[in-house]
Structure 1
Amino acid sequence: MLDVTLSSQLKSAVPDFKIGVMFYSSIVIGKLPALIGDRLPVYYNNVQMSFDTQPISAISGIQEWRQIFKKVGTDPSRYRPSQEALLRKIKKDGTPHFVHSAVDLINFFSVQYSIPMGIYDAEQLDGAIQVRIGTETDQYDGLNGRLMHMNQKIISADRNGAFGSPIVDSKRTCVTPQTTQALQLAYVRPSMDSGEAQRLIEKMAEMFTQVHGGTYEWKLIQ
């Protein structure tokens, strides 16, 4: 299990901040099994239709994460929490981008539970990881093709600097079909009870290894 901590500055800004940490070993990434993959378009179509009666902004997980962004100095209208970006993509196109089994499953979790999610190739991480508020020196090449300036945004950083956030993750640590060890971070809602958060984290880790094989370890940091 990689060493993950929360900074005191982040805990001061968001006292009930929680994050789920899952570490996977000996996994095999490819396509989602048909049992899941064939059902996802139907699931996302139902999500898309739900927006006819409920705007994205009314979803409790979206509202809570927008408030968290404001507490650390991020404008949530300019930099959206990643699960909100996914939902807006689904509203527009009917589905998110399908990449491979690991990313596709993480996106499903993110939409289903309305929380930001990240998954990283553990072999591309170096040293202890801290989840903190970014500074003017924190930046990285994002998976969205942009250079991300992470000042006053929640980030995850290792010895080599920032690599992830609940906005968009970096290219440096992205998971590929060659990845065999991965770190998943689940930005659970601060309002969620610790016991409920722990059950959710274990449930996601178990499902991930059912799809990808291998083993998992998990913990809730708060």
Structure 2
Amino acid sequence: MKIYMEISHQQSPSIHVGQIEYSNIEIGKSPQMLKGRLRLFQESLFFEYEGKALKEVPAIKEWIDLIKNVPFLPILSDIQKEIFIDSINSVQDLSTFFSLKYFLPILTLDADRLKEPLLLKRSDSRHVEWIDEAGQKGLFSQSGAAQISTETKNILQIILFPPSISWEKSDALLQSLTKMFTQIHGGESTYHIFEKAL
């Protein structure tokens, strides 16, 4: 899958963009281990950020200064109110866990529903959007017609890493995510990482 990112004409810091392609996977209910980790982690986040201003947390503020639609921020806001996410399926649960653990925007799409190339861009309103050759589009946090289901066999996953995270750490996190993902879903994976101005 070819991915292009539209570079802003303004002076913007560079970010790392991770692209993972999974093939021949099996999606189902999350194993109890993942369900338990997701629930316990949300509870730990509740106690850690209770009464705190999320927008002042350095790792979150960095994203707020870069983009408008920070995908994990509404989830964290709900967790502060002790509203926890229930298990959905193995892919979405793992993506949510990883996104919250490292404060990273993650977009997960059914690769078979996309027509390459895929363009990522930041609009004038600072929303990060995607659009494919067939005209499907949506915000980074919303996959629209390319949402995954239990019938999905091939996935494209895009992860944004902020300027404060080095290439080496970005690469290590991508390796960690792909390892966790294939342990649960089987199949094969390949990943790439590149640097772009947002």
1:155 matched to 2:155: no
1:196 matched to 2:196: no
Q: Secondary structure at the match of 1:95?
A: coil
Where structure 1 has 5 or more consecutive residues not aligned to the other structure, the ranges are: 70-75, 136-150
Q: Secondary structure at the match of 2:177?
A: helix
Q: Distance in 1 between matches of 2:118 and 2:138?
A: 11
Q: TM-score, with normalisation over the residues of structure 2?
A: 0.90
Report the residue type matching 1:24 in the other structure. Answer: Y
Q: Which has the higher contact order (CA 8 A, sep 6+)?
A: 2
Partner of 1:165: 139
Q: TM-score, with normalisation over the residues of structure 1?
A: 0.81
Q: Secondary structure at the match of 1:221?
A: strand
Partner of 1:25: 23
Identity %: 23
Please point out which of 143, 164, 184 is paired with 2:157. 184
Partner of 2:33: 35
Q: Secondary structure at the match of 1:216?
A: strand
Q: Distance in 2 between matches of 1:86 and 1:120?
A: 19
Please point out which of 116, 120, 132 is paired with 1:131. 120
Q: How far apart are residue 68 of structure 1 and its match?
A: 0.3
Q: Contact conserved, 1:163 with 1:169, CA < 8 A, in 2?
A: no
Q: Distance in 1 between matches of 2:138 and 2:19?
A: 13
1:114 matched to 2:103: yes
Cα RMSD (Å): 1.9
Partner of 1:7: 6
Q: Distance in 2 between matches of 1:35 and 1:152?
A: 37
Q: How far apart are residue 127 of structure 1 and its match?
A: 1.5
Count of residue pairs the alignment pairs up: 195
Q: Secondary structure at the match of 2:15?
A: coil
Q: How far apart are residue 162 of structure 1 and its match?
A: 5.0
Q: Contact conserved, 1:25 with 1:182, CA < 8 A, in 2?
A: yes
Where structure 2 has 5 or more consecutive residues not aligned to the other structure, the ranges are: none
Cα distance change of structure 1 residues 152 and 47 upon mapping to structure 2, 3 Å threshold: closer
Q: Distance in 2 between matches of 1:160 and 1:134?
A: 19
Partner of 1:214: 187
Q: Distance in 1 between matches of 2:137 and 2:86?
A: 21
1:92 matched to 2:81: yes
Task: Please give the per-residue CA displacement for 1:86-115, whole angstroms capped at 9, x wherever unaligned.
Answer: 111211234224321111110001100011
Cα distance change of structure 1 residues 22 and 196 upon mapping to structure 2, 3 Å threshold: same
Q: Secondary structure at the match of 1:87?
A: helix
Report the residue type matching 2:90 in the other structure. Answer: S
Q: Distance in 2 between matches of 1:201 and 1:162?
A: 26
Cα distance change of structure 1 residues 42 and 169 upon mapping to structure 2, 3 Å threshold: same
Report the residue type matching 1:104 in the other structure. Answer: D
